Amino acid sequence: MSGLYQIIGDEAQVREFYRRHILPFSAEKYRSFLLLLHARRKYHAEMSNSQRIINTKPVSSKISENQFVRELRKYEVAEGLYVDSVKDLPIPNEALVIYMTADPLDEIQSFFGMQNELNSVLQELVQSSISSQVEDSIKIKIDTQEKTTSLKVINRYKSWLHKSNVKKFHKLDVDTKDTDKITNLRNLFLKEGIILHLVIESRGGYHVIIDKEHGILSNDSHRQLHLFCQQNKEWITIEKNALLVIPGTIQGGFLTRIVDWSNNPSSSS
């Protein structure tokens, strides 16, 4: 291999995403998003596992547009440095995708969640009278069963951060590009008066994001949306703790992009 991994394929799209999805939270205190670089067997059949999380990194909602672009560029390292840990072989560019959490994340809630978990671990240590045996991980006897608990605090913090989402958005994972199905979905939005925050064309479909506050999602339209998703669950789901592919980045060899679904569903997107 030679050259660099390509993460960004269209910097203008990345910047547009920043302005529309991250910048609105820049004035809020103690909010972050998570960047997650994945390698997936779905995109490269030679991968040992279905997916490997190569890196997870928090970025503050106060990050500037240029800083956000630079954070993504940091993943564009020399080809071959990302490795399949089982086969000890380089991961190719076409296996990669970078995601970001759809919702902003609450840093304070995640800190106290992690603190409570660590306090519980320490309490178990004292009760088990093995506090002198702490190494990289510890074994705790509970009801004659052994439990191994990692003490890697940074990993625990990122895990809690991911769970501490401030629920601002609904994310629909649309796993099709079939014209008739997409037209039916867009007609539902039009009929129910649902305003879309962002639509991102992904490798296999679309990530559709609805702002819960400004999407004008009435109780009835919310029910109709859930009913539609249930009736079409083979190709559309409403995700919890949702991740977005970042438009302008490469997903399994495909250049993702923001598309406009505000026009007539029967016309081109």
**Is residue 231 domain-shared with residue 199, that is, in the same domain?**
yes
Q: How far is CA 210 from CA 103, 207, 217, 239, 268, in A?
A: 11, 10, 9, 12, 21
Of 106, 124, 153, at which residue does a domain stop? 106
In a domain, 264, yes or no: no
3-class secondary structure, 196: coil
Question: What is the arithmetic mean of pLDDT over 117-135?
Answer: 64
Tokens 């991994």 locate to: 5
> Is residue 247, in this structure, part of any structural domain at all?
yes
Q: Are residues 184 and 224 in the same domain?
A: yes
- 176 and 224 share a domain? yes
Residue 136 lies in a domain: yes
Instruction: Give domain status of residue 73, yes or no.
Output: yes
Domain that holds residue 100: 11-106
Query: Does residue 215 belong to any structural domain of this protein?
Result: yes
What is the average pLDDT across 187-212? Answer: 95
Evaluate if residue 258 carries a pLDDT over 90: yes
Q: Which of 59, 77, 106 is the last residue in one of the domains? A: 106
Q: Is residue 238's pLDDT more than 80?
A: yes
Closest listed residue to residue 135, CA positions, set 146, 144, 143, 125: 125
Q: Does 158 lie in the same domain as 176?
A: no
pLDDT of residue 244: 97
Final residue before a domain boundary, out of 163, 189, 204? 163
- CA geometry: angle 74, 200, 219, nearest 5 deg: 125
Mean pLDDT of 235-263: 95
96, 18: one domain: yes
3-state helix, strand, coil in the chain (%, to 5): 35, 30, 40
Question: DSSP label at 8?
Answer: B
**Amino acid making up residue 104:** P
**First and final C-alpha spacing in the chain:** 37
Other Cβ atoms closer than 10 A to 84: 19
Q: Tell me, what CATH number does 207's domain have?
A: 3.30.70
Q: Nearest-5° angle of CA 173, CA 175, CA 177?
A: 120
What is the rounded distance in angstroms from the CA atom of residue 99 to the CA atom of residue 83? Answer: 19
Q: Clarify whether residues 112 and 98 are in a common domain.
A: no
Q: Are residues 93 and 18 in the same domain?
A: yes
Residues 64 and 96 in one domain: yes
**33 part of a folded domain:** yes
Candidates 114, 102, 94, 222; CA nearest to 161 is: 114
Looking at the fold, whether 36 and 118 belong to one and the same domain comes out as no
- Work out how many domains the chain is built from and give that number: 3
pLDDT number for residue 267 = 56
Return mean pLDDT, the chain. 88
The two structure tokens encoding residue 5: 């991994």
Asked whether residue 157 falls in the same domain as residue 176, the answer is no
* pLDDT more than 90, % of the chain: 68
Residue 8, both tokens: 């960004």
Instruction: Indicate whether 151 pLDDT > 80.
Output: no
